[in-house]
Amino acid sequence: MRQNEIANYKSTLNTKLSDLIWQLTKREGIAIEKTPDALDAVHMATQRELATRNLEHESSVLREVRAALNRIEDGEFGHCLNCDEEISAKRLRALPWTALCLACKEQEDRSASPHSAHADRSSCLAA
């Protein structure tokens, strides 16, 4: 990968890092408010749950962005952490913080999916 490409990814990652840090400082949606109306209470709980999930997702992406910036500094950026193959430029343009090539990410997703875990359990029962 050329130095100007790496510099562009670094700039993109630093911008994303700044955006995530700013977004993570906004936590108004997590506050617990009491209301006498049961419907309002359910609505607020749902909104709070959504805000919490968004916060968890943004925190996860923040960790991935920081790890990608570390890989740039270490000279390892753009290579899959599992198979050490080069990650495609298309994938890096879409997710510059990705640590895995598409094939390894798909394999990881298949391994982690609840459906595949169910299939594994049913094959164990059949044996």
Task: Read off the pLDDT of each residue in 93-112 and give the average, rounded to a whole number.
Answer: 94
CB 72 within 8 A of CB 6: yes
pLDDT at 116 over 80: no
Task: Read off the pLDDT of each residue in 31-54 and give the average, rounded to a whole number.
Answer: 81
CB 12 within 8 A of CB 72: no
Task: Read off the pLDDT of each residue in 32-45 and give the average, rounded to a whole number.
Answer: 79
Domain boundaries, the chain: 3-77
